[in-house]
Amino acid sequence: MMIAASNSAAPSTWVEKLAAPLKAALQHPWVESIVRLSAVEDTLRSLHPMLSLTEVRAQVVRIVDETADTKTFVLQPNALWHGRHGEHGPRAGQFVQLRLEINGRRVERIYSLSSRPGARLLAVTVKRQAGGLVSPHLHEHLKVGDVITIGQADGDFTLPTLLPAKMLLLSAGSGITPVMSMLRDLKARNYQGDVVFMHVCRNPAEFIFAKELLSTANRFPALSLLLHFDDSVGRFTPDSLQSAVPDLGERATWMCGPSGFMDAVEGHWATNNLTAPLKSERFVAIPMLPTTSPGTPVTVMLALSGEQFVTSGNAPLLEQAEKAGLSPKHGCRIGICRSCQCTKKSGTVENLQTGELSSMPNEQIRLCISVARTDLSLDL
Amino acid sequence: MSFAKPTHLTRQQVDDFEREVDAIRASVMNDLGQSDVDHIRRMIRICRASEVGGRALLHFGVGPLSWVAGVLALANAKILDNMEIGHNVMHGQYDWTGDPALNSQKFEWDIACDGEQWRHSHNVTHHTYTNILGKDRDLGYSLLRMTDAQKWKPRHWLQPMANLMLAAGFQYGVGSHDLEIGKYTHGAISKPEFKARLNRFLTKTAKQWFKDYLLFPALALWSAPRVLAGNFCANLIRNLWTYVVIFCGHFTDGVAIYREEDTRNETRGDWYLRQLSGSSNLEGGRVFHILTGHLSHQIEHHLFPDMPAHRYLEVAPKIRLLCVKYGLLYNTGSLYSQYKTVMKRILTHTLPPKNATTSPA
Ligand code: FES
C-alpha cells in the first residue's frame, strides 16, 4: 500500500454534472426524510451494478497473471470516473483506492495504477501478500464481470508535463507498478530523451511485466532496461546502482519499492550530495499491531479540529481528552451508548472491555473504552 | 413493591457471572461476518418493498380490500423500519461493517422521534440507567405510575386513559421523551436548551406529517382521503405494536426496580444483573421476533445492546442456563400472558396506595 497526499482538482464528467444536483437534492434533510439516498443507490445498483449517483464503480474486464503471485486486474470504470482525457484524468504514477467488502466488513486499500493514463481501461497490479487481507481476497475472489467501488486517481508521484532529458525509473518488487505506468506514458508521449529503467527483484520468475518490458526495450529507442536479480548477482546495493548507472547524478529519478530499498537509495543521494531530483512513492504496510506498553506517551491528533494532545495510554481516551481541556461528545462513559464514537483514521487502540488491540484504519471506536497504544489520528 | 436488592449472589459469584456473560458475548462478537450484514440488508430490502407495495396499493388500489392490504403492508414497513432496522442499527449493532448506510450515528428513521434525540433518551439514559427510579425515564414515560415507589397523584386516576393515549400516539411519546419537560418546568434545563430540543422534535414531526398527511395524499389526487386514512392507520398500528412490545419488555410482573444508591460503584457483573432483572422476554416464532426487532429478547438486548439482534436467538438459551445456574429469574412468557401482567400493573397503580402514609421502600 502506498500513502501519498495530494488534493486533486475537482473536474466533472457530464454524468457527474447530471448526478451532482440530484445527489444534493436527495441529501436535503426534508427529501431524505421521504426517500433515503442509500435506498436510491440500492435501487440503481439493482438495475445495473455500475449505476450510481455517488460512487465510481468499475467492472473487471480481464485478469492477467503476471507472475506466480501477481495479477493485473483490468477495469472498466463507470461514467463518474474522472475522464480518460484531459488534464484531470489520471496521471502516470498515481494510485486509486479500491473498496471491497470482505466478510461483511468494508475495507479500503490503495494500489498504484499500472495502466497508461488516457487508456480506455484502467489497471491495477496486485501482488499477493502472504497473511494479508485484501490482496489474497482479490486474487481468490475477484472474477471477470465483478463490479467493485474505486476512488478517483490521486497522488503526486507523477511525471511532469515538461519531461527532463535524462530520467531514471527505479523500482523493486511490486514497486514496479507506478513506474511501469510512467514508462507506458513516456512511450505514448513519444519521449525522445534518455530513460533508464532499472528494476530489482529476486529472480526472473518474480519479474513483473517481464514480457512487456523486454519487448518495449527492443522497440523503444529512448529506453535502456537494466535488471538486477538478487538471486544471481547478489543483494542490490546503492553501489550496484551507481556502477550500473554512472551518470546517476544527472538523472531525474522516480523510485518505488520496499522501504529498506528506498532508504538505501535515498541515503546514497544524501551522502553523495546528488543534486538530481529524486521522487519516491513509499510502500507503507498497514501497521501490524505494534505493542506500545501501557504508560508510553503517545500523541493523539484530532484531524478535524487540528488539535492534538499527548496521553500516557493508561486511561480511556475520553478521560485523557477531557484532561487536555477538550470536550468530546459523550454519554454513558461505560461503552454502551456510542455517543463518544468517532472514526479512528490510523493508529492502534486497545478496547478496555475486551482487551482487543486493533489497528484497522478508518475504524469506529468508542473513546470511553479505548486507550491509545500508538500515536493516533481521530476524526474529531 | 420493594426495590430489588442488588443481588443475592456473593461477590465471587457476581464476578463469575460477569465472566460467563462476557464469554457468551465474545463468542458471538468474534464471529460476526457476512451473514449478519446479509440479514440486515435483507430486512432493509423487505421493508422497502413493503413500503412501496403498501403505498402503491393505497394510491392505485380500488375498494376496501386493497386499502386494508395497503395499510398492513405500510404498517409492516414502518414496524420493520422502527424495530428490526432503526432501533438495532442506531444501537451500533452494525457499525463494525463500516457501511455508512448502517452507521449508528447517522441513521434516521421513519418515525416522529428524531434520531439524535432518541440516541440520547434511549441509548444513554435508558440503557445506562435501566430501571433505576428517578434516572431511567422509560419507567412509565413520565406519564404512568408503574410502582409504589412513585408518588400517587390525583391525575393517576386517569392512568388507564393516559395509557391508551400513550399507546395510540406512542411515536410522539418517544419523540417528546428527550424534551424532559418535567426537568424544564423544575428549572433543571435552561430555556434555550429546551427550545432547541423542542425545535428538533417539532421539525421531525413536521417532516413526518408532511410526508404521510400532505405530500403522499396530494400525490394521490382524488384518492387523497384514502391515502391519508391509510397512512394514519399504518402509523397507528405501528404505534400500538411498538408500545405493546416495549411495555412487555420492562413492565411485566417480576421486573426489578432499583434505587440509585443501590447501583453506585456497580461492576460490569452488577450491571449485567440489573439489565437481566430489569427486562422480560416474549416467546414466539421467527417472524414474530423480527417484527419486534428481536426486542422479544429484551433480556439479551439489555445485556448486549450492540450485538446484531438476530443473534439473540442463539444467545438466549445460554443466558437461560446461566440463570438456572445462578438462581436468577429469566422472565419470559407469551405476549398475551406478559401483557396481562403489564395491564394489571398499570391498573393497580392507578389506585392510591392503601396505606398512604407509608413511605416508599
Ligand atoms: S460515552 Fe457511551 S459509549 Fe462512550
Cα-to-centroid distance, A334 and ligand 1 (Å): 6
Q: Would the CB atoms of A331 and B91 count as touching at under 8 Å?
A: no
Does the C-beta of A8 come closer than 6 Å to ligand 1? no
Does the C-beta of A353 come closer than 6 Å to ligand 1? no
Please report which confidence band the pLDDT of residue A86 belongs to, taking 50, 70 and 90 as the band edges.
Answer: low
What are A227's strand-pairing partners? A199
CB atoms within 10 A of CB A230: 14
Please report which confidence band the pLDDT of residue B147 belongs to, taking 50, 70 and 90 as the band edges.
Answer: confident
User: Ligand 1, closest atom to CA A336?
Assistant: 3
Minimal CA–CA distance to A311: which of B207, A321, A328, A337? A321
Cα-to-centroid distance, A101 and ligand 1 (Å): 27
Say what percent of chain B tops pLDDT 70: 96
Return the pLDDT at A121: 92
* B165-179 confidence digits (pLDDT tens): 999 999 999 999 888
CB distance from A332 to chain B under 8 Å? Answer: yes
Say what percent of chain A tops pLDDT 70: 92
Question: Residue B358 pLDDT > 50, yes or no?
Answer: no
Q: Rounded distance, CA A203 to CA A26, Å?
A: 54
Q: Rounded distance, CA B327 to CA B28, Å?
A: 24
**pTM (2 decimals)?**
0.92
User: Ligand 1, closest atom to CA A338?
Assistant: 3
Please report which confidence band the pLDDT of residue A290 belongs to, taking 50, 70 and 90 as the band edges.
Answer: low
C-alpha distance from A352 to closest chain B C-alpha (Å): 12
Q: What is the mean pLDDT of chain B?
A: 93
* A113-170 confidence digits (pLDDT tens): 999 888 889 999 999 988 888 999 999 999 999 999 999 999 999 999 899 999 999 9
Question: Residue A207 pLDDT > 90, yes or no?
Answer: yes
Return the pLDDT at A238: 93
User: How is residue A370 annotated by DSSP?
Assistant: E
Return the pLDDT at A6: 40
Task: State the count of interchain CB pairs (< 8 A) between A and B.
Answer: 88
Q: Rounded distance, CA A188 to CA A25, Å?
A: 42
Give the residue with greater pLDDT, A282 vs A76.
A76
- Helix, strand counts (H, E) of chain B: 17, 2
Return the pLDDT at A286: 58
SS (H, E, C) A236-259: CCHHHHHHHCCCHHHCEEEEEECH
Return the pLDDT at B359: 46
| Phi, psi at A115, each rounded to 5° | -80, 165
> Edge-to-edge strand order for the sheet containing A376-378?
A308-311, A298-302, A376-378, A341-346, A363-366
CB distance from A379 to chain B under 8 Å? Answer: no
Question: Residue B327 pLDDT > 50, yes or no?
Answer: yes
Does the C-beta of A328 come closer than 6 Å to ligand 1? no
H or E stretch covering B137? none
Pocket probe for ligand 1: among A319, A320, A329, A334, the residue whose CB has the most ligand atoms within 8 Å is A334
Q: Rounded distance, CA B320 to CA B330, Å?
A: 6
Mean pLDDT of B69-94: 98
Helix/strand/coil for A72: strand
Q: Would the CB atoms of A341 and B119 count as touching at under 8 Å?
A: no
Is residue A255 within 8 Å of A248, Cβ to Cβ? no
Question: Residue B241 pLDDT > 50, yes or no?
Answer: yes
Is residue B282 within 8 Å of B292, Cβ to Cβ? yes
Minimal CA–CA distance to A225: which of A233, A235, A234, A216? A216
* B23-81 confidence digits (pLDDT tens): 999 999 999 999 999 999 999 999 999 999 999 999 999 999 999 999 999 999 999 99
Q: Would the CB atoms of B207 and A33 count as touching at under 8 Å?
A: yes
Is residue A4 within 8 Å of A153, Cβ to Cβ? no
C-alpha distance from A341 to closest chain B C-alpha (Å): 8
Nearest to B33 among A104, A337, A363 (CB): A104
